[in-house]
Amino acid sequence: MAIEYTLSIIKPDATKRNLIGKILNRFEEAGLRIAAMKMVHLTQQQAEGFYAEHEGKAFFADLVAFMISAPVVVLVLEGESAVQNYRDLIGATNPEEARSGTIRHDFALNYRYNSVHGSDSPESAQREIAYFFVEQEIFK
Ligand code: UDP
């Protein structure tokens, strides 16, 4: 198995409810190492660019409004098969469908306010990491 890097975001619903520490703890307990981390209040343009693949969908404007409603924490996580392992750790997009013990099951409020983001493939991870970090900010 190969060491991979994945992009994680602790979303506004979680930062507003003081859940940053609890969520970071879940990452580390699962064996993921924090290779980069910063807190950012996204601009509308940054949020729209990040979610460009969803442009045109009914939920796009509300998703962007949510993502800029408070600061977020953006991270690069490192680990064996980190992309899939992290997706397993966060659970299904809709917390009602997320397995018990997953971050979204335990913390998310609903389908939109679902506490965390995670890259869905190694290709997305590469693109999303480059969207937020330059090479020197990632501690390998
Ligand atoms: N989302 C939403 N309404 C929907 C579907 C998704 O508000 O009907 C939001 C939700 O916050 C989700 C994000 O849009 O995490 C991106 O959706 P995607 O399908 O890419 O899910 P993810 O990869 O985050 O699990």
The ligand 1 atom at the shortest distance from the C-alpha of residue 62 is 7
Global confidence as pTM? 0.98
Global ipTM: 0.98
Give domain status of residue 94, yes or no: yes
Does residue 54 lie within any of the structural domains? no
**CATH code of 16's domain:** 3.30.70.141
What is the CA(59)–ligand 1 centre distance, in A?
8
Please count the structural domains in the chain: 1
Position 12 in a domain: yes
Residue 114 annotated as binding? yes
* 117 part of the active site: yes
Q: Is residue 58 part of a domain?
A: no
Structural domain includes residue 78:
yes
Q: The domain containing residue 29 runs over which residues?
A: 3-40+71-137
Residue 91 binned pLDDT confidence (cut-offs 50, 70, 90): very high
Atom of ligand 1 nearest to the CA of 92: 25
87 in a structural domain? yes
- Model confidence at 1: pLDDT above 80: no
Percent of the chain residues past pLDDT 90, beyond the cut: 99
63 within a domain of the structure (yes/no): no
The H-assigned helical ranges of 17-133 are 20-29, 44-50, 60-67, 82-90, 103-107, 122-132
- pLDDT in the model for residue 102: 98
